Amino acid sequence: MNPRPIRTQGFHPVDVHVGQRILLARHAQRMTQQDLARQLGMTFQQIQKYEKGKNRVSASVLYQIMQTLDVPASYFFDGLPTEEVVAGEGGSVTTKDVEAAPSLFTAPENVSLLHSYLEAPPPVRKAVRSLLFSIAKEVK
């Protein structure tokens, strides 16, 4: 078994995705990074690094985050694009991609939309996702 080469720049797509899901769940709970950090016994800077995908989240920390934010483990991997994971060994996400992502999740209209989405029953959320994916395919 050959060891994987150490990546010196860029972020692994899975780490970025998990970080974005942490950010979404934290916003859905109306928590600040400081609030979450305090409950987990770490600094808000560490939460920032997790949310940007700069640091990998260990299984034990992910478990604590899952309990604190009241989401199932699968939540962090929902919507993970398989192509990125397959290409993951050689592919990476750039710093620019990571820094642009949080603005999507912090804009007031997006936060409001997220809250409404999360309050909807699962069948409605599934229908909304299907609709959005259909629209996105048409726009491409």
Whose tokens are 């808000």? That residue is: 44
**What is the dihedral sign for C-alpha 61, 65, 67, 68?**
positive
**All structural domains of the chain with their residue ranges:** 13-106, 109-140
User: What pLDDT, on a 0 to 100 scale, did the predictor assign at position 2?
Assistant: 45
Question: Under CATH, what is the fold of the domain 13-106?
Answer: 434 Repressor (Amino-terminal Domain) (1.10.260)
Whole-angstrom distance, CA of residue 86 vs CA of residue 94:
17
Question: From the DSSP assignment, how many helices (H) and strands (E) are in the chain?
Answer: 8, 0
| pLDDT at res. 78 | 85
Residue 8 burial (CB count, 10 A): 5
Give the separation between CA 112 and CA 27, rounded to whole angstroms.
10
pLDDT in tens, the chain (140 residues): 444 444 445 688 889 889 999 999 999 898 999 999 999 999 999 999 999 999 999 999 999 999 999 999 999 988 876 654 444 444 555 555 555 555 666 677 777 787 788 788 889 888 988 898 888 888 77
Three-state SS for 41?
coil
What pLDDT is stored for residue 36 in this prediction? Answer: 98
**Helix orientation angle between 13-28 and 44-52, rounded to the nearest 10 degrees:** 130
